[in-house]
Structure 1
Amino acid sequence: MTFSRTRFDKPAQQRARAVVIGAGVGGLASAIRLAAAGVEVTLLERHNHAGGKIRTLPSDAGPVDAGPTVLTLRHVFDDLFQSAGARLDDHVTLIPQTILARHVWPDGSELDLHANPEDSAAAIRAFAGSRSETEFRAFCDRTRALFNAFDAPMMRAAVPRLGALTRHVLSNPHLIGQMAPLSTMARALKRQFSDPRLAQLFGRYATYVGGSPYRSPAVLALIWHAEASGVWVVKGGMHKLAGAMSELAAALGVDIRLNAHVDRIEVRGGHARAVHLDTGARLPADAIVFNGDPRALASGALGDACRTIAPQTLRVPRSYSARVHSFAATPQGRELAHHNVFFDADPASEFTDLQAGRIPRNPSLYICAEDRGQDHAPPTLERFEIITNAPANAAPDTDKDLHQWHQTIIQKMQSFNLSFSPTPQATAITTPPMFNGLFPETQGALYGQSPHGMMAAFARPTARTAIPGLYLAGGGAHPGAGVPMATLSARHAAEAILNDLTSTSTFAPMAMPGGMSTA
């Protein structure tokens, strides 16, 4: 049975009830899929807006994204909207990017990677020579093979199993060499590319899941294939996607409650039964989805009864975090694409600092020019987001330290012939301790558990938990961090819930047209 063919079309008093805690993309997607199947859904969000880490800060140019900046793997979102009888393109405008990212080094060298792989190959040939072009083509073949090999048994599997993956790899022996199982990402890239700048560039994809290329498994290079398959800008900003998902959920009848603070999850008779709010309200449910960092359950933040869930999150290291600077200004100097990466001359320096728990002294800068790549000329006053890696568990920021760091970043941008008018102020920076306040029990980590180590992917909690009736979604659960992955986790959660409801309750599946049954 699949959830998309199941509906609980019963009178309201007989319909299955679900409560989803957290209106990030995983929570929104869970609510959409469940409501589309006929479940009565209440979606609770502690903030005054939906979207979770897709958030904005105000500026003179309008809301500035202060979280994810682009969309990849758009088929995940097409599938989500189709599950509700809707079309993604009717709700948001997605603009495909011809330039995936612009990369700049302190020596003045610059490289654009393109949506057209032949354009990227030509750019790399001009940048680093024909040998590097050949190496790049081989790298693309390798990451494509890895992505295709891991997609079904890992990302799209509700529960990734080492045995299934091992059998898959053994049946395709060429994958063993492509996985480089005994190598870190950095070591494998050093072998792959003779030009260290290219190894540095593709190593940065480890940071997409909060890791270091010097400690993450080589297989994470497959993230490049996800980006090479297409990057889309959401017209108006990523928050428009969260808004569209929220509107779709509401249209399906989801009861969205903002500023709703959950006190605890009630577990009775070994089964999750209800959600209690700090107002004293009790919301009974047949299924509860927790779309937050699973560490919050293990720590007892939602009640002692949930401490048995994901206990490994209290032991394993956290992913990295970031300092995020969101502001509006007029840029001067270097021409920018939508995505821009300014590398430090020493690729290892920032990761040495991160591993030691220090704010990097010489970080690479990721700059999103949010009004570029929108199929029109940018306005005079543009919106920008600057992201630098930072450790989770960072000490609270002092005004002096933050001011000094801010000045370092401004000077670093100027060294790349880039300045802004007016000069952005430090008051628009979100730091790891602030992220921990926004998303409790994360310790400031933006991607849940650390991706370091070959078995990291198998250590994440999955949609079903040890407590019947309680399910997980979001970037802290399988298949991991990132907007597409969190959205996939919602599919796993919805499938588990609907299968469990039809197999263990009195809520019978609806017969499909033509006599097809969903059972």
Structure 2
Amino acid sequence: MRQSAEPRIVVVGAGIGGLAAALHLAAAGRPVLLLERAATPGGRVSSLRPAGAVTVDAGPAVLTLLPVFQRLFAAAGARLEDHLALRPLPVLGRHVWPDGRYLDLMADQQAAAAAIGDFAGPDAARGFLDFQARAARCWDALEKPFLTVQRPGMLALGAQVGLGLRGTSPFGTLWDALGEHFADPRLRQVFGRMAAYVGSSPLLAPATLMLVAHIEMSGLFAIEGGMDRLAEALAGLAQARGVELRLGAAVAEILVQGGRVAGLRLADGQRIAARQVVLASDAASLAAGHFGAAAARAVPPLPASRRSFSAFGWAIAGRAEGLDLPRQAVFHPADPAAEYAALARGRMPEAPTVTLWAQARLAPAPAPDGAEPLMVLVPAPPRADTREMPAGPAEAASLAALARAGLRLRRDAVLAVTPRDHERAAPGSGGAIYGQAVHGWQSIFSRPAARTTLPGLILAGGTTHPGAGLAMAALSGQLAAAAVIGERA
């Protein structure tokens, strides 16, 4: 590699946002030091091993917006297909209700419309196609002026209302928009799940979040060998492009001198000089002072009332029997409004939505031989403090929901993940997994952007703009790299 005369940039956090930032900076010829406190890269892309050789993806379970990652690999001079084996999901998810009725939402739009028509009648099928067209218009209108810019502005939204967003009700709620297309309340539950993907309530999320429906129909992909392979591939490419990666390197403080970033102090006492730092960590941890008091003022604190949901999860080595399952199955409660009202009050719902990831399966299929990797998830409220919520009631409610649907869950070995664990991973977050909740049309303007008020400190990751999810984190890394290059160090 050609040695650069540019000063070294330090990226803190080797999650997808940090890896993307490091790759884009290296591709621009900038020397990069990438620090990760864990023993492996990946951040929220992580796995658990409840028993033996059974490995369970404990974070994101599928890849969306494939072109984002193809462009990221291309920026490093590589092809994604040469590093990852992808398997498209023919069924986006099975949706199950307490009465035993279920709907398989197909990845093919016409097949999905046919399935919805069989489930709820021809008007529902037409409503679905109209909704998908509306979601596509929303994506087309928002992709470039919002997702790929440093900081979206209200004037840009106003311009889009007069153009591509016309008819998409950008100032209304997702729940109300769904009601315009689906008379059957169960279908509102199915597509209201788009808000849950970012830890938010569909009753409060803006209608523009319908663009997630377009993203899903554009393809969901499993990665052979597990989602960890994505982080491993990106970390390997970064190192091949000259990035120095240090694992087990926890940052205790961002040093500030003369009103700008001056470097870092590691937990072991080592100091690293740097004029520019990309912090690819939870923005709530920064605001709460976990990277030092001087840097904490770089972003405003996130009030507990605006935090996204947390979750209880159980990584299981076992078998799911009694139903032929696709990779994702969602078990809906009869009353979603009661669920979201409880979460808004900071309480666990008595009947939560339960999501089961059968990670060895793609299309609906019986349990494979032997133990299979399973992940069960239920939403939980974030907390204003770090007190533990008991896992027992949530676990009992999730098992009851699965049993009512006719699913027998054999659990040979189980590892639980609680909101307290999420808080430990991101101190100051209250366990919120997705940063700020997407509630109200103005929420997009208050999410932290790449540039902060502290010169030299740049943010990346899923709690910053453009939002939660692997693809959004990758885009945040690209925006962070551009902000670094555009700043005078």
TM-score range, shorter chain: over 0.9
Partner Cα separation in structure 1 for residue 95 and residue 371 of structure 2:
23
Distance 1:225 1:372 in 2: 23
The C-alpha deviation readout for 1:33-65, integer Å capped at 9, x for no partner, is 112222221111122221111111113343211
Q: Give unmatched runs, 5+ long, in structure 2.
A: none
CA contact 2:322–2:406 (8 Å) conserved in 1: yes
Q: Deviations over 1:457-510 (max 9, x none)?
A: 00011111112211000011100111110110000011111233xxx36xxxxx
Give 1:139 deviation, angstroms.
Answer: 0.4
Q: How far apart are the structure 2 equivalents of 1:194 and 1:424? A: 42
State the shift of 1:442 in Å: 1.6
Q: Secondary structure at the match of 2:180?
A: helix
Rounded to whole Å, the distance in 1 between the matches of 2:152 and 2:305 is 19
Residue 325 of structure 1 is aligned with which of 303, 308, 314?
A: 314
* Mean CA deviation greater in 104-113 or 479-488: 104-113
Select the residue among 422, 429, 444 that pairs with 1:435. 422
Deviation at 1:379, TM superposition (A): 4.3
1:177 pairs with 2:164 = no
Preserved contact between residue 323 and residue 432 of structure 1 (Cα < 8 Å): yes
Identity %: 40
Partners of 2:364 and 2:272 lie apart in 1 by 46
TM-aligned CA distance change 1:279 to 1:422, over 3 Å: closer
Task: Check 1:186–1:314 CA distance in 2 against 1; reply closer, same or farther (3 A cut).
Answer: closer
1:106 pairs with 2:98: yes
- Range 194-203 or range 250-259, more displaced: 250-259
* Cα distance between partner residues in 1 of 2:377 and 2:341: 18
Give the alignment partner of residue 382 of structure 1, picking from 372, 392, 401. 372
CA distance in 1: counterparts of 2:140 and 2:443, whole angstroms: 19
2:170–2:441 Cα contact (<8 Å) kept: no
Give the whole-Å Cα distance in 2 for the aligned partners of 1:370 and 1:288.
Answer: 37
- Code of the aligned partner of 2:377: I
1:105-184 maps to which residues of 2 (within 5 A)? 105-172=97-164, 175-181=165-171, 183-184=172-173
More displaced 10-residue stretch of structure 1: 208-217 or 303-312:
303-312
Moved more, 375-384 or 223-232: 375-384
1:34 is matched with which residue? 25
Root-mean-square deviation (CA), in Å? 1.9
Describe the superposition over 1:239-284 as per-residue Cα deviations: whole angstroms up to 9, x where unpaired: 1111111211222222211221111111112221211112221111
Contact 1:33–1:84 (CA under 8 A) maintained in structure 2: yes
Q: What letter matches 1:47 in structure 2?
A: A
Distance in 1, Cα, partners of 2:137 & 2:296: 39
Shift of residue 144 of structure 1? 0.6
For residue 41 of structure 2, what is the amino acid of its counterpart?
A
Query: 2:464 aligned with 1:464, yes or no?
Result: no
2: CA distance, partners of 1:469 / 1:405: 43
Task: Tell whether 2:352 aligns with 1:363.
Answer: yes
Letter in 1 for 2:10: V
Q: How does 1:220-231 map to 2 (within 5 A)?
A: 220-231=209-220
Post-superposition offset of 1:135: 0.6
Rg larger for: 1
Shift of 1:387: 1.1
CA distance in 2, matches of 1:326, 1:370: 11
Hey, what's the Cα distance between the residues in 2 that align with 1:344 and 1:409?
Answer: 10
Matched, 1:297 2:301: no
Q: Which of 458, 478, 484 does residue 491 from structure 1 map onto?
A: 478
Which residue is 1:514 aligned to?
none
Task: Give 1:208's aligned residue.
Answer: 197
Q: Secondary structure at the match of 2:294?
A: helix
- Distance of 1:424 and 1:177 partners within structure 2: 50
The one-letter amino acid of 1:105's match is W
Distance 1:333 1:375 in 2: 12
Of the three residues 382, 401, 404, the one matched with 1:392 is 382
Q: Does 1:92 align with 2:92?
A: no
1:78 aligns with 2:78: no
Q: Which digits, 9 at most, give the CA deviation of each residue in 1:363-417, with x for residues without a partner?
A: 111111111129999443110111111111176336xx42343233222211111
User: Given that residues 94 and 103 in structure 2 are in contact (C-alpha distance below 8 angstroms), is that contact kept between their aligned partners in structure 1?
Assistant: yes
Match of 2:436 among 442, 445, 449: 449
Equivalent pairs counted in the alignment come to: 486
* Native 8 Å contact 1:24 1:53 kept in 2: yes
Task: Return the offset for 1:105.
Answer: 1.1
**CA distance in structure 2 between the partners assigned to 1:438 and 1:207 by the alignment:** 21
The alignment partner of 1:192 has SS state of coil
**Alpha-carbon spacing, 1:195–1:374, altered in 2? closer, same or farther (3 Å):** closer
Choose from 255, 261, 282 the match for 1:272: 261
Equivalent residues in 2 for 1:409-420, closer than 5 Å: 409-420=398-409
Secondary structure in 1 matching 2:387: coil
Structure 1 gaps of 5+ residues are 1-8, 506-519
Specify the code of the residue in structure 1 equivalent to 2:360: D
Equivalents in 2 of 1:15, 1:36: separation in Å?
13
Give the AA of the match of 2:387: P
Q: Give the drift of 1:438.
A: 1.6
Looking at structure 1, the residues matched to 11 and 32 of structure 2 have their Cα atoms a distance apart, in angstroms, of: 7
Paired with 1:243 and 1:379, the residues of 2 have a C-alpha distance of 28
